[in-house]
Amino acid sequence: MSASYLPYEPDQDFLLPPSLSEWLPEGHLAYFISDSVDALDLSAFHARYDKGGPRNQPFHPAMMMKVLL
């Protein structure tokens, strides 16, 4: 059974600002962090939730790593 996370769409538009790419300049540190986390092997985080079971839907591990960093 695969894990079921809350929706995580980093390219979605927001109310304010309309898009992160319009808010952050090109070359901003946030883009580096996002790309670095996307390149990480987060399978250990996914494995914890692959077994299913009665619990709330967790946030996506990639999103949580980006917030932490």
At 16 the pLDDT is 57
Q: Is 61 exposed, middle or buried (0-12, 13-18, 19+ CB in 10 A)?
A: buried
State pTM to two decimals.
Answer: 0.65
At 44 the pLDDT is 87
8 contacts: CB under 8 Å, gap ≥ 6: 59, 60, 62, 63
38 DSSP assignment? H
Residues 11-66: tens digit of each pLDDT:
776 655 567 787 889 999 999 999 999 999 999 888 877 776 556 678 888 988 98
